[in-house]
Amino acid sequence: MSRSTKKGDTETQKVFEYNLNGQDVLFKFDYVYNDTFSGNNIIPLTSIFNEYNKYLPDVIIFIPTKYEVYCDFIENNTCKNTEHFSILKNDPVLNLNSVKILDATGFFRNKAKSLMQIKNKLLYEVDDTHLSETGVSALAEFVSNHIKQ
């Protein structure tokens, strides 16, 4: 199912509803899969990193989108690859060579799979893109595992 909200003639939001293990879950896509994403939309991120270059953190944790975590669970769906992590990790303009970047995608996918099979719980809220309490706990576990290293 697809839903969109219109403001005048301009479409402002695209939301899709998929069934995950008996739960109707909403996914927002307009900011994730955009033909101009790899070009125009990364400029604000670049300018932020350039402006605050001397204040960059030691570590950045990349948290995947809800769709990136659950795309394999959606029936008759082909997972689309995003450029989020590769842009953050590999873009020479951002100059993040001195920053350790941790990608939580694999951890979140594995955690999501086990939680759905055992408890039918999600890492993200059913009706928006924010982490649920379970997701916050998983993120804390991910961070804890990397602090130990």
Cα 91 to chain centroid distance, Å, stands at 18
The tens-digit pLDDT sequence of the chain (149 residues) is 444 454 555 555 578 888 888 889 988 765 544 444 444 444 556 677 777 777 888 888 989 989 889 988 888 877 777 666 776 666 666 677 788 889 999 999 999 999 988 888 999 999 988 999 999 999 999 999 998 77
**pTM higher than 0.85, yes or no?**
no
Q: Length of the chain in residues, anyone? A: 149
